[in-house]
């Protein structure tokens, strides 16, 4: 839809006002001409008395209405006549009245809340979000805003806040149930599987690192040596009898094979979604969730340990590093074409749409809450809105205010002048006729 600029609209309004003024002034001049002509020839043509009466009254009506219309905006003919230039002289009073009028007649909480509720805002918002254009444009944009949102809180601030929240607001039972709900939400979105796969991949990278392998092989040999020294066996006796590098090589070969087996086991787990380790992880995950939700022993332990955990420097450091890691990972993830954050936002939107479809009463409750929030907001700030409107009108330049108002309603006021000319003339004619009939 094409919208005219302010300057063009002002020019159009000015031309319309000028045209209406010419029509109103033209009718006044026409009444003057009729009056003069009828006054000159009335002795020759007595019937012109009717025309003269009409013209005389029309001039009076036209001049009276011209005076009234002009007095709204300025002093007629520049004369200091009392009660003229009404709008500019009463600008502050009009501003206050306008503010109060808006406050008491427009900013009413109940009608606004009803309008908001009837507008069905939650469903419209979800439908807008579900549109293909929104998904392709706004969800990626929203995902890329997440690093900025997370960076608002510094790691030390986030750690302090979480520690304070843990210590002051959460009992052991509440901590357990909160953790359980978080774990359930992660599982509902499939993120627990994503995290577990990431752990398996990291473990493989760790096992494949040469320095790590060397360290693990050395630890395995030391561990085997401790076992052998605690419980001598035939193999240990055989090694003691050989007393050479062959034994070290055999131990090294065994350690290397053990690490290779662990790596291949992890590789198989990554390749097979039905792998036993994954099933075991899911079972243990569900057991932890259940224990966090219902186990009094876990709740008691969480209650006993929450203060120590919250005030622990190690806990504070861990929270800081975790928050920093989340910030860094988010910043890197949102730049990827296959961003996990974007995937989760799409899943969240799909879940919201399915829930809205399955439970329409939930959407109505959401609309009700939104409308009540809007109502409370309006009732809390409507007086400030009235003051804002009043101050804004008071701050206008008087000449500009008069011009804007005259351009807005001046054309209609010129029709009052035209009507005053015609109606005044007709009233004068009726009075003349009645007077002729009676006297």
pLDDT digits 0-9 by tens, 93-133: 888 888 888 888 888 888 888 888 888 888 888 888 777 77
Average pLDDT, the chain: 79
Question: What's the average model confidence in pLDDT over 423-435?
Answer: 89
Name, in order, each residue with C-beta under 8 angstroms of 189's C-beta and a sequence gap of 6 or more. 344, 347, 348, 351
Higher-pLDDT residue of 252, 247: 252
Q: Residue 232: its pLDDT value, please?
A: 52
- Residue closest to 143 by CA, chosen among 347, 340, 351, 349: 340
The pLDDT, as a whole number, for residue 247 is 42
The average pLDDT across 7-30 equals: 86
Instruction: State the Cα–Cα distance between residues 359 and 180, nearest whole angstrom.
Output: 25
| Structural domain spans, the chain | 6-89+397-438, 124-152, 155-339
Mean pLDDT of 174-184: 80
Confidence (pLDDT) at 60: 92
Mean pLDDT of the 234-248 span: 47
Q: Do the beta carbons of residue 166 and residue 175 sit within 8 Å?
A: yes
Q: Over 90: is that where the pLDDT of 32 sits? A: yes
pLDDT for residue 210 is more than 60? yes
- Mean pLDDT of the region 11-27: 87
Q: Flag the least confident range among 270-274, 384-388, 426-430.
A: 270-274
Eight-class DSSP state of 40: H
- Residue 439 has a CB neighbour count (10 Å cut-off) of 5
Least confident of 176-180, 205-209, 361-365: 205-209
Instruction: Report, as an integer, the average pLDDT of 175-183.
Output: 80
**Residue pair 72/414 in contact by the 8 Å Cβ criterion:** no
Quick one: pLDDT at residue 1? Answer: 44
Say what the pLDDT of residue 256 is.
Answer: 64
Q: Higher confidence at residue 167 or residue 436? A: 436
Answer yes or no: are the C-beta atoms of 143 and 337 closer than 8 Å: no
Determine the pLDDT at residue 259.
65
Element (H, E) at 272: none
**Nearest Cα to 205, choosing from 127, 126, 133, 262?**
262
Across 192-203, average pLDDT:
76
Mean pLDDT of 387-413: 80
Three-state SS letters, 296-339? HHHHHHHHHHHHHHHHCHHHHHHHHHHHHHHHHHHHHHCCCCCC
Mean pLDDT of 231-255: 48
Measured in degrees and rounded to the nearest 5, phi and psi for residue 331 equal -60, -40
pTM score of the predicted model: 0.45
Query: Is 79 in a helix, a strand, or coil?
Result: coil
Q: Are 315 and 167 in contact (CB under 8 A)?
A: no
Among residues 175, 406, 194, the alpha carbon closest in space to that of 304 is found at 175
pLDDT of residue 173 exceeding 80: no
CA separation for the pair 192, 429 (Å, rounded): 94
Q: Give mean pLDDT, residues 175-196.
A: 78
- Of 33-42, 96-105, 211-220, 332-341, which gets the smallest average pLDDT? 211-220
- Chain segment 134-160, per-residue pLDDT in tens: 778 888 888 888 888 888 888 888 877
Question: What digits encode the pLDDT tens for the residues 414-425?
Answer: 888 898 889 988
């Amino acid at each position: 839809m094409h919208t005219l600029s302010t300057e063009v609209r002002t020019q159009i309004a000015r031309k319309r006002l000028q045209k209406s003024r010419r029509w109103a002034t033209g009718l006044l001049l026409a009444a003057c001409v009729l009056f003069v002509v009828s006054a000159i020839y009335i002795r020759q043509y007595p019937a012109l008395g009717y025309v003269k009466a009409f013209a005389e009254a029309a001039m009076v009506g036209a001049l009276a209405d011209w005076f009234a219309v002009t007095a709204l905006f300025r002093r007629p003919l520049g004369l200091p006549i009392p009660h003229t230039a009404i709008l500019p002289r009463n600008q502050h009073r009009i501003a206050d009245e306008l503010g109060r009028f808006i406050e008491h007649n427009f900013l009413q909480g109940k009608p606004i809340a009803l309008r908001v509720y009837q507008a069905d805002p939650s469903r419209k918002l979800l439908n807008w979000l579900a549109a293909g254009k929104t998904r392709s444009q706004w969800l990626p944009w929203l995902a890329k805003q997440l690093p900025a949102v997370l960076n608002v809180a510094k790691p030390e601030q986030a750690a302090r806040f979480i520690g304070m929240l843990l210590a002051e607001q959460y009992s052991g039972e509440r901590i357990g149930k909160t953790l359980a709900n978080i774990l359930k939400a992660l599982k509902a979105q499939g993120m627990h599987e994503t995290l577990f796969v990431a752990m398996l991949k990291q473990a493989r990278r760790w096992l494949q690192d040469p320095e790590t392998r060397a360290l693990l092989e050395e630890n395995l040999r030391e561990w085997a040596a401790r076992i052998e020294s605690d419980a001598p066996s035939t193999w240990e006796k055989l090694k003691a009898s050989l007393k050479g590098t062959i034994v070290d090589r055999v131990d090294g070969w065994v350690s290397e094979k053990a690490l290779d087996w662990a790596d291949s086991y992890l590789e198989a787990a990554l390749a097979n979604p039905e792998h036993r380790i994954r099933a075991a992880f899911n079972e243990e995950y569900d057991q932890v969730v259940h224990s966090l939700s219902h186990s009094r022993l876990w709740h008691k332990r969480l209650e006993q340990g929450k203060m120590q955990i919250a005030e622990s420097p190690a806990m504070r450091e861990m929270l800081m590093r975790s928050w920093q890691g989340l910030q860094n990972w988010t910043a890197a993830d949102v730049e990827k074409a296959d961003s996990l954050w974007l995937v989760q936002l799409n899943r969240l939107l799909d879940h919201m749409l399915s829930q809205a479809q399955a439970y329409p009463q939930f959407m109505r409750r959401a609309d009700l809450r939104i409308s009540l929030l809007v109502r409370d907001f309006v009732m809390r700030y409507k007086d400030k809105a009235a003051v804002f409107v009043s101050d804004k009108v008071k701050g206008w330049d008087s000449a500009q205010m008069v011009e804007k108002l005259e351009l807005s309603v001046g054309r209609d006021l010129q029709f009052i002048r035209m009507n005053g000319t015609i109606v005044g003339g007709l009233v004068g004619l009726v009075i003349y006729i009645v007077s002729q009939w009676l006297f």
